[in-house]
């Protein structure tokens, strides 16, 4: 016997987020896998980074190139600046773009 469990909303579809649950920052549309299961994140383990506590969510990206991700976030996160080597960070961490407040 195989048991399959899907977390869905009342209409039978997964929840589609347009903003990150923790920060409220906008999410790139490429987090939508296109299968109606939603784009809810995977919570990453809490960690210590230098002297700060890190809490993070991981969002998978679908059918998009790194340059397009960098361009989208650059244009949608006004008030933030890119960290040098951002393209490398996106490639290495898949969907995490390091940002810092101006």
User: What mean pLDDT do residues 45-56 have?
Assistant: 88
pLDDT band at 18 (very low <50, low <70, confident <90, very high): very high
The DSSP bridge partners found for residue 99 are: 82
- Estimate to the nearest angstrom the gap between the alpha carbon of 18 and the chain centroid: 10
Query: Is residue 5 predicted with pLDDT exceeding 70?
Result: no
User: What mean pLDDT do residues 69-90 have?
Assistant: 71
Half-sphere exposure of 25 (CA within 13 A, CB side): 21
**pTM of the predicted structure, to 2 decimals:** 0.64
Is there a domain that residue 90 lies in? yes
Is there a domain that residue 94 lies in? yes
Is there a domain that residue 45 lies in? yes
pLDDT given at position 102? 36
Domain residues for 41? 29-101
Is there a domain that residue 8 lies in? no
- Number of structural domains (the chain) is 1
Query: Is residue 17 predicted with pLDDT exceeding 80?
Result: yes
Is there a domain that residue 5 lies in? no
């Amino acid at each position: 016997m195989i048991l399959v469990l899907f977390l869905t909303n009342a209409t039978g579809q997964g929840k589609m987020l347009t903003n990150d649950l923790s920060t409220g920052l906008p999410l790139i549309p490429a987090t939508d896998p296109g299968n109606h299961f939603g784009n809810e994140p995977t919570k990453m383990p809490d960690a210590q980074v230098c002297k700060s506590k890190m809490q993070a969510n991981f969002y998978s990206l679908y059918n998009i190139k790194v340059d397009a991700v960098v361009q989208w976030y650059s244009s949608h996160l006004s008030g933030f600046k890119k960290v040098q080597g951002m393209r490398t960070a996106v490639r290495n961490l898949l969907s995490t773009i390091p940002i810092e407040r101006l």
